[in-house]
Amino acid sequence: MKHILSANQFNKNDLEKILKRASVMEKQCKSDKIKKLLINKIVACIFFEPSTRTRLSFETAALKLGAQVISTENAMENSSVYKGETIEDMTRMLCCYADAIVIRHPKTGITEIASKVSTKPIINAGDGANQHPTQGFLDLYTIKKEHGRLDNLTIAFGGDLLYSRTLRSLLPFLRFYKNNKFYFISPKELELPREFIKELKNDGVFFEELRSLENALPKLDVLYMTRVQKERFANNSDYEKVKNLFILKFKHLKNLKKNAIIMHPLPKINEIEKDVDNDPRAAYFRQAQNGLYVRMALLLYALGL
């Protein structure tokens, strides 16, 4: 049994094995010859926040591997947490029913708490603004597929970096690979927390902070856009002030390399103009598709198969 709680728990060897397994899963899916390695297993998907891609890709991954799924998409309302049950007690009960438990929760650290009492693998599907390690894996897999390498890349994260758990999940992985350069591009209101910047400096990571996309675009191999996350704001007025501050426009694409890719964890709202979707460099729907293969691999990893 192996919990998947944080990107920081993995070493480079782990990454390479999981990426290789994801590639095998992709080939099996495309050839319709999937080995049903999770027959007689049950995967619980317990989501306290709305999700389309993460929940459904985990459920699809489990089903394709032969497992059965039990789930709730609104656990705040549709579970005994509504009555005041603790996450520890809920986890103990889920361990009676399922062989692996996938949890998304708005509170940072909740999957760590669940793992302390769990007798089954816990998979963090996003804990507030903290981390989303399985997203980090599918992002890494996407970059490797699209560029054929994970080193010597120039990568920009743009938009809402203050609450970006995707950045916090992908960056620890990319730091295993040599000569990568990072740009963090955001309005000041949504910049990375200073403690995170301090940590990067202490670790010797090469990066620059910028306030606009234009100067960085010609240098980039990867532009990773993020949405302004309304659910992270205490009041709507603060959200309204910043939601339109950072938008990738179709006109920006003329300054982007021909072989660059644009990524986004989705859902996107208004931070990428719709016309960008039709550009072959827009990789975010391919990125989402890769989530299926990666989560198949991660379910097998968590269950020791």
Our answer to whether residue 142 is catalytic in this structure is: no
Give pLDDT, residue 247: 85
Largest separation between any pair of C-alpha atoms in the chain: 55
Catalytic residue (choose from 3, 21, 53, 64):
53
**166 annotated to bind ligand:** no
Contact 206, 179 (CB under 8 A): no
Give pLDDT, residue 205: 86
**92 annotated to bind ligand:** no
DSSP string, 100-153: EEEEEESSTTHHHHHHHH-SS-EEEEEETTS--HHHHHHHHHHHHHHHS-SSS-
Tokens, residue 252 = 């920006």
Q: What are the helix (H) ranges across 193-276?
A: 194-202, 236-242
Give pLDDT, residue 234: 62
Cis, bond preceding 187 (omega within 30 deg of 0) = no
Sequence letter at residue 219: K
37-51, pLDDT tens digit by residue?
A: 999 999 999 999 888
**266 annotated to bind ligand:** yes
Our answer to whether residue 181 is catalytic in this structure is: no
Q: Which CATH superfamily is domain 7-131+291-302 in?
A: Aspartate/ornithine carbamoyltransferase (3.40.50.1370)
**DSSP-assigned beta bridge partners for residue 184:** 157, 209
Our answer to whether residue 54 is catalytic in this structure is: yes
Which CATH class name applies to 133-288?
alpha beta
Contact 174, 150 (CB under 8 A): yes
What is the rounded distance in angstroms from the CA atom of residue 79 to the CA atom of residue 71? Answer: 10
Contact 135, 161 (CB under 8 A): no
Catalytic residue (choose from 3, 55, 64, 104):
104
Compute and round to an integer the Cα radius of gyration of the chain: 19
What is the rounded distance in angstroms from the CA atom of residue 181 to the CA atom of residue 243? Answer: 27
Give pLDDT, residue 40: 96
Give pLDDT, residue 227: 80
**DSSP-assigned beta bridge partners for residue 128:** none
Contact 103, 124 (CB under 8 A): yes
Our answer to whether residue 257 is catalytic in this structure is: no
Task: Please report, in tens digits, the pLDDT of each residue of the chain (305 residues total).
Answer: 799 999 999 999 999 999 999 999 999 999 999 999 999 999 999 999 888 899 999 999 999 999 999 998 877 676 777 678 899 999 999 999 999 999 999 899 999 999 999 999 999 999 988 899 999 999 999 999 999 999 999 999 998 888 788 888 999 999 999 999 999 998 888 888 888 888 888 888 889 999 888 889 999 999 999 887 666 566 666 666 666 667 899 999 999 999 999 999 998 988 899 999 999 999 999 999 999 999 999 999 999 99
Give pLDDT, residue 34: 97
Give pLDDT, residue 1: 74
Our answer to whether residue 83 is catalytic in this structure is: yes
- Residue 219: CB atoms within 10 Å: 14
What is the rounded distance in angstroms from the CA atom of residue 111 to the CA atom of residue 128? Answer: 10
Tokens, residue 192 = 């990375």
Catalytic residue (choose from 3, 21, 41, 54):
54
Tokens, residue 249 = 């426009």
Query: Which part of the chain has CATH 3.40.50.1370?
Result: 7-131+291-302, 133-288
Pairing of strands 154-158, 181-185: parallel
What angle separates helix 12-31 from helix 133-147, to the nearest 10 degrees?
70
**175 annotated to bind ligand:** no
- Residue 280: CB atoms within 10 Å: 9
Q: What angle do CA 81, 82, 85 make, to 5 degrees?
A: 30
**281 annotated to bind ligand:** no
